[in-house]
Amino acid sequence: MGKLYIIPTPVGNLEDITFRAIRLLKEVSLILAEDTRTTGILLKHFDIQNKMQSYHKFNEHQAVAHIVDRINAGEDMALVSDAGTPGISDPGFLIVRECVGAGIHVECLPGATAFVPALVASGIPCDRFCFEGFLPQKKGRMTRLKTLADEPRTIVLYESPHRVLKTLTQLAEYMGEERYVATCREISKKFEEILRGTLKDILLHYTMNEPRGEFVIILSGKND
């Protein structure tokens, strides 16, 4: 029986990958990639020549049974997302669950995840926090915001640049514009930026400056 390796990949700077991750990406029988073009750039940078197969949220339900069969037959496979750790707001949970159910050993390497450096550098308490990932786009969004308004722990959100103003505006509406927040974008890249202040302050900044890059929003808990 083979093994499934969950391998984190850099969220920005390509140096943010472990020696072990590089070795395993060379050794496994197949790399399951969220986007083979994106992963291809990473493999080329580290001179890794290995086979890839597309594995993403649109085909995982169709592909997972065949993948489990191949691992059961003795092939080691690696799962990677475009950036960060698979399963964290990226495909990964389904194949891990199916492999665990089939008695296959699943090993997740430690490595890059966008929210950890953002949380630690935010200056907001990070001893207790809740990770929300992306808020629901439509159904359930308002209910979730209302619940989070009373959350005492630090709140971690992901957001895309074209929706960040909407999300910050709604956070201010539900939690008050004086709630303290840190927005972190382009983590570990050349133009990494962390802004800290009230929701009112950060909203004003991004009203005047177009948001660019993927965002992590760190929001202080109620009464912090």
CATH code of the domain in which 72 resides: 3.40.1010.10
Which of 79, 108, 137 is the last residue in one of the domains? 108
Query: Residue 141's domain is classified under what CATH number?
Result: 3.30.950.10
What's the domain range around 169?
115-219
3-state helix, strand, coil in the chain (%, to 5): 35, 20, 45
Residue 224 lies in a domain: no
Distance set, CA 50 to CA 44, 55, 66, 104, 188 (Å): 10, 15, 19, 22, 26
Note the pLDDT of residue 223: 84
55-72 residue pLDDT tens: 998 888 999 999 999 999
Which of 67, 91, 108 is the last residue in one of the domains? 108
Is the same domain home to 92 and 132? no
pLDDT at 53 over 80: yes
Is the same domain home to 98 and 171? no
As a whole number of angstroms, the distance between CA 192 and CA 80 comes to 23
Is the same domain home to 102 and 143? no
Query: Can you name the residues that pair with 54 across neighbouring β-strands?
Result: 33
Number of domains, the chain: 2
For the question of whether the overall pTM of this predicted structure is more than 0.85, the answer is yes
78-121 residue pLDDT tens: 999 999 999 999 999 999 999 999 999 999 999 999 999 999 99
22-32 residue pLDDT tens: 999 999 999 99
Residue 85 lies in a domain: yes
Is the same domain home to 90 and 139? no
Note the pLDDT of residue 57: 86
What is the overall mean pLDDT for the chain?
95
Is the same domain home to 121 and 99? no
